[in-house]
Chain A
Amino acid sequence: QKEVEQDPGPLSVPEGAIVSLNCTYSNSAFQYFMWYRQYSRKGPELLMYTYSSGNKEDGRFTAQVDKSSKYISLFIRDSQPSDSATYLCAMSARGNNRLAFGKGNQVVVIP
């Protein structure tokens, strides 16, 4: 079993819809949770960062962490064509800075 599972299946949504992405993980030591956005032919950029459990909101983006279920989510409200990208979840444990990445979800927002 991989440490981080992310269903890579492409996701197409109409403009304005809510995009919901999630990852599950197996390592209970993970405490730092991140979402990266990667545009085509670019490097990933850090989108959301969360420590431990709870919610974090930044504009149209909301990140949720449920450590009891080992499940993290990213929601994008009022999706825009510019949100079309691949979204990767990533996480690490205290003292171990190497990130474990999910495979990434390709999201296409259709105008």
Chain B
Amino acid sequence: EADIYQTPRYLVIGTGKKITLECSQTMGHDKMYWYQQDPGMELHLIHYSYGVNSTEKGDLSSESTVSRIRTEHFPLTLESARPSHTSQYLCASEQANYGYTFGSGTRLTVV
């Protein structure tokens, strides 16, 4: 049973719209991550957080932003969606050195 939840699972949205992808975990983990993954392709880290009020950009340049106001919540926002943002977005949390727990992902399509 998943302890990390992502909503929505699927989203189709028009160009220029603002969207927020939600990620919540119930495990009390301090470290959380957002990855972008195109079908059949590798994971790309776009944002991470090591605790409340701590956020960093990842290895892949992204036009998205994140916030971490509560330990359990790590939403990702796109101010103006574009077709190039079409991808799968995966959220993960971690207990130190024991690996990540991933959510089921949000598959975003921007038309």
Binding site for B on A (CB under 8 A): 8, 32, 34, 36, 41-46, 49, 86, 88, 90, 92, 94, 97-99, 101-104, 106
Contact = CB atoms under 8 A, between A and B. Distances in A.
Contact of B90 (A43, A86, A92): A43
Interface string B14-54: 00000000000000000101000000111101001000000
A17 B14 CA distance: 46
Contact of B42 (A41, A49, A103): A103
B103 A41 contact: no
A97 B42 contact: no
A101 B42 CA distance: 8
Interface residues of B, number: 24
Contact of A43 (B41, B98, B105): B105
Contacts of A97: 31, 94, 96-97
Contacts of A94: 97
B97 A101 contact: no
B104 interface: yes
B90 A88 contact: no
Nearest to A104: B42
Contact of A106 (B40, B90, B105): B40
Contacts of B88: 41
B40 A43 contact: no
Contact of A46 (B33, B48, B99, B107): B99
A43 B103 contact: yes
